[in-house]
Amino acid sequence: MKLTPIITATAVAVALAAGTAAAQAQTLRTFNGGEPASLDPHRVSGDWENRIVGDYIEGLMTEDENAEPILGQAESYVISEDGLTYTFTIRGDAVWSDGTPVTAQDFDFAFRRLLDPATAADYAYLQYPILNAEAINGGTMEMDELGVRVIDDKTIEFTLERPTPYFIDALTHYTAYPVPRHVLEEFGDAWIQPANIVGNGPYNIVEWIPNSYIRAVRSDTYYDAANVAIAEVYYYSMDDITAALQRYRAGEFDILTDFPTDQYQLLLDQYPGQAHVAPFLGLYYYVIQHNMDGLNQVEVRTAMSMAINRDVIGPQILGTGELPAYGWVPPGTANYDYEGYEPDWVALPYEERVAQAVAMMEAAGYSASNRLTLELKYNTNDNHRRIAVAIAAMWEPLHIDVELVNAEVAVHYDQLQNNDFAGVGRAGWLMDYNDAINMLELLRSDIIYNYGRWNNPEFDQLVRDSANITDMDARSELLRAAEVIAMEDVAAFPIYYYVSKNVVSPRVQGFNDNAKDIHRTRWLTLTE
């Protein structure tokens, strides 16, 4: 008689466990890094935001499982013979998550909103290939001159300033996403609140707990919903990557988008095949406050760059094999057939470099009794701290005192954009499309991502002139000349070329390492 309750309880426990396992099999839990500043595609700028925004909104073009451009909301496009006009036909079954059809007017509205100076979209310049986009965004031309034209509800045409080989790739970027005009007109900036938000992508945002997680569920209205396997996604926000790894090991996360590099060997030993370390198009660098005494001298900047022992950062400090960077454009960048830039002093033994750097600092007036004091700012992350500590130690013999200052990612980048730092700041750039211009424009004097406010008119002119050249070899020569100018003037300190550092559970299938480190959830599946 006492056996029945025990059997019943056991049966219930088994059923609950089976139900939990089934729920987990349908739910992807991703450690996503920092807290998003927004989910509005015109107000975001980081890869941690892109992972979310690119799951709930889709552009005319999108990325496949290898991050290559494929048709998204468009079912087809035609390019004119002169390369200046792109005409897109939008899918007949493209709808917003509230059932409203996606129209050419939504895209037209979005591009005009992006380029409106009042929007103050930091990334608007990525769409400057469109006719008159730069002048409109700069406030010197009226919006009705923009090279975007609605032909009918499902057809939109773009006219470009000049033939642009990377334009299709640029349309995969979130600056080219549509926004739901009917929702913005009703709710204004509050349209991205979970109660109001509407998307046209594979997932719908349903919950946002600040500094904890954002939750999305599979969209039933997405045109390819039948092939989207994962039912629910949690994007967890936290800066502590060591704690994130502990939670992964406890089975609480399925994907880590970063990990402490001093734990790489542990991952290789105890979790074989789960650490994904692969080269991709990006640069880890330090920006320099060019308005600061001392740092406004090229001799001081050169000495500091010479003292950074880049050869030990990838293999020893990080342990994940990042390649040392002395130039600005990552190796393998399309339409840019050059070896990575290196200054002449790279050939010197490190000890000799440091000796020369010390002499340069002393010639600039710095000594044991007159030291240069500066801040080194970084966003909170164990790997960034480890590099900052090492580089501060490398600069100490140069009569430089470094104060390490960290902040959570949104605050850190807000300070950089506002030029609010007294010395050096950690930054990184993952290329939005595979073309050298995407890197070099970061150093243009009129781009907000030129955090250190380096200003060189000759550099600016070369970058601008490159946009008017259709001969790709001649264009790359101009861009290379611009890169050399920036590096010889030490516009910033390139440190290493990125490798992506993800940790992926064996239950996640379809995660393909790629040069952009973009992995849209629609391509992933989960096993039990």
pLDDT tens digits along 211-238? 999 999 999 999 999 999 999 999 999 9
Give the pLDDT mean for 295-307.
98
Computed on alpha carbons and rounded to an integer, the radius of gyration of the chain in Å comes to: 25
Each residue's pLDDT tens digit, 175-201: 999 999 999 999 999 999 999 999 999
Q: Please name the residue that has the structure tokens 């006009």.
A: 85
Confidence of residue 22 (pLDDT cuts 50, 70, 90): very low
Query: In sequence order, which residues have a C-beta less than 8 Å from that of residue 29 and are 6 or more positions away?
Result: 233, 234, 236, 252, 253, 254, 255
Tell me: pLDDT of 4 over 60: no
Each residue's pLDDT tens digit, 321-334: 899 999 999 988 98
Q: Are 201 and 181 in contact (CB under 8 A)?
A: no
Q: Report the pLDDT value the prediction gives residue 528, as an integer from 0 to 100.
A: 75
Confidence of residue 469 (pLDDT cuts 50, 70, 90): confident
Give the pLDDT mean for 250-267.
96
Class of domain 278-499: alpha beta
Q: Among 304, 282, 353, which Cα is nearest to 491's?
A: 304
Q: Report the pLDDT value the prediction gives residue 344, as an integer from 0 to 100.
A: 95
Q: Report the pLDDT value the prediction gives residue 270, as an integer from 0 to 100.
A: 97
C-alpha distances in angstroms, 426 versus 7, 80, 182, 286?
A: 60, 43, 40, 5
The helix (H) or strand (E) run that includes residue 386 is helix 382-395
CATH architecture of 28-228+505-526: Alpha-Beta Complex (3.90)
Q: Report the pLDDT value the prediction gives residue 468, as an integer from 0 to 100.
A: 83
Q: Report the pLDDT value the prediction gives residue 279, as an integer from 0 to 100.
A: 86
Each residue's pLDDT tens digit, 124-165: 999 999 999 999 999 999 999 999 999 999 999 999 999 998
For helices 298-307 and 382-395, the axis angle rounded to 10 degrees is 110
Tell me: pLDDT of 5 over 50: no
Structure-token pair, residue 5: 């309750």
Q: Please name the residue that has the structure tokens 């939005």.
A: 432
Confidence of residue 525 (pLDDT cuts 50, 70, 90): very high
Paired residues of 160 in beta bridges: 130
- Percent of the chain exceeding pLDDT 90 equals 89
User: What is the domain partition of the chain in residue ranges?
Assistant: 28-228+505-526, 278-499
Q: Report the pLDDT value the prediction gives residue 25, as an integer from 0 to 100.
A: 54
pTM of the prediction?
Answer: 0.85
Tell me: pLDDT of 513 over 80: yes
